[in-house]
Amino acid sequence: MEHITDKFNVEALVYKYRYPLGAGFLLLLLALPYLGLSQYVMRIIIMIGIYTMLALGLNILTGYTGLVSLGHSGFFAIGAYVTAILMLKLQFNFITSVLAAILITGICGFLLGLPTLRLTGTYLSIVTLGFAEIVKMIIMNWEPVTNGTLGLRNIPRPTFLGFSLTLANNGMYYLMLLLLLIITAFCITIQKSKLGRALHAIKENELAASMMGIYTARYKILAFILSAVITGLAGGYYATLVSYIDHNSFTFDVSVLILSIVILGGMGTIRGMYFGAVILIVFPEIARPLMEWRFVVYGLVLIFMMRFRPQGILGWRSALPFQIPAEKEAGQKRSGKHGISRG
Amino acid sequence: MILQQIFNGLALGMAYALIAVGYSLVFGILRLVNFSHGSVYAFGAHMVILFVGYNFGLAPAILLGVVLTGLLGILIDKMALSPLRKKKSPGISSLITTIGISYIIQNLLMMAFGSEKKTFPELFPNKMITIASAQVSSMQIIMFIASVILLLILTALVKFTKIGLAMRSVEQNEMISSLMGINTNFIIAFTFFLGGASAAIASILISGYYQIVYPTMGFVVGLKAFAAAVLGGIGIFHGSIVGGLVIGVAEAIAASLFGSAYRDSIAFIILILVLVIRPTGLFGKKGIEKV
Domain ranges of chain B: 2-277
Nearest CB neighbour to B97, from listed A120, A296, A303: A303
Within a domain: residue A151? yes
- Cβ pairs bridging A and B (under 8 Å): 121
Beta strand pairing call for A163-164 and B118-119: unpaired
User: How many other CB atoms are found less than 10 A from the CB of residue A183?
Assistant: 22
Q: How far A12 CA lies from chain B's nearest CA (Å)?
A: 30
Nearest CB neighbour to A121, from listed B89, B92, B108: B92
- In B46-85, the residues whose Cβ lies within 8 Å of chain A are 80, 83-84
Q: How far B178 CA lies from chain A's nearest CA (Å)?
A: 24
- In A247-266, the residues whose Cβ lies within 8 Å of chain B are 252, 256, 259, 263
Within a domain: residue A22? no
Segment B156-163 long-range contacts (CB within 8 Å, at least 24 positions apart): B157/B194, B158/B237, B163/B187, B163/B190
Question: Residue A70 is which amino acid?
Answer: L
* Chain B CB contacts of A292 below 8 Å: 107, 111
ipTM (interface predicted TM):
0.81
For every one of its 291 residues, what pLDDT tens digit does chain B have, with 9 covering 90 and above? Answer: 778 888 888 888 888 898 888 888 888 888 888 888 999 999 999 999 898 888 888 888 999 999 999 999 999 999 888 888 888 887 778 888 888 898 899 889 988 888 888 888 877 777 777 777 777 888 888 888 888 898 889 889 888 999 989 988 888 888 888 898 889 889 999 999 999 999 999 999 888 888 888 888 888 888 888 888 888 887 778 888 899 999 999 988 888 887 777 777 888 888 888 877 877 778 776 554 443
Within a domain: residue A198? yes
**Which string of b and e fits A124-159 if b means at least 16 CB within 10 Å?**
bbbbbbbbbbbbbbbbbbeeeebbeeebbeebbbbe
**What is the predicted pLDDT for the residue at B67?**
94
* Chain A CB contacts of B87 below 8 Å: 307
The DSSP element (H or E) to which A305 belongs, if any, is helix A294-308
* Chain A CB contacts of B99 below 8 Å: 70, 256, 259, 299, 302
* Chain A CB contacts of B88 below 8 Å: none
Q: Tell me which chain A residue has its CA closest to the CA of residue B260.
A: A141
Within a domain: residue A106? yes
Residue A302 contacts B, CB cutoff 8 Å: yes
**What is the predicted pLDDT for the residue at B262?**
75
**Structural domains in chain A (count):** 1
d(CA B240, CA B243): 5
Nearest CB neighbour to A127, from listed B84, B96, B275: B275
**What is the predicted pLDDT for the residue at A332?**
47
Q: Assign B131 to helix, strand or coil.
A: strand
* Chain B CB contacts of A263 below 8 Å: 96
**What is the predicted pLDDT for the residue at B235?**
75
Structural domain containing residue A186: 39-252
d(CA B198, CA B145): 14
Cα–chain-centroid distance for residue A61?
10
Within a domain: residue A242? yes
* Chain A CB contacts of B104 below 8 Å: 296, 299-300, 303
Q: What is the pLDDT of residues A147-194, one digit of tens each?
A: 877 888 888 888 777 777 777 777 888 888 999 999 999 998 998 888
DSSP per-residue letters across A94-113 = HHHHHHHHHHHHHHHHHHHH
Q: How far A229 CA lies from chain B's nearest CA (Å)?
A: 22
Nearest CB neighbour to A121, from listed B91, B99, B269: B91
**What is the predicted pLDDT for the residue at A323?**
64
Residue B275 contacts A, CB cutoff 8 Å: yes
Within a domain: residue A28? no
Asked if B107 lies within 8 A of A296 by C-beta distance, the reply is yes
Asked if A118 lies within 8 A of B276 by C-beta distance, the reply is yes
Q: Which of A65, A120, A122 to mutate to test the interface with B (most CBs of B within 10 A)?
A: A122
Q: What is the pLDDT of residues A34-80, one digit of tens each?
A: 777 788 888 889 999 999 999 999 999 888 888 888 889 999 999 99
Within a domain: residue A169? yes
Query: Residues in chain A with pLDDT < 70?
Result: 1-9, 317-343
Nearest CB neighbour to B104, from listed A130, A133, A300: A300
User: Topology of domain B2-277, per CATH?
Assistant: ABC transporter involved in vitamin B12 uptake, BtuC (1.10.3470)
Closest CA to A85 of A9, A29, A139: A139
Q: Tell me which chain B residue has its CA closest to the CA of residue A123.
A: B275
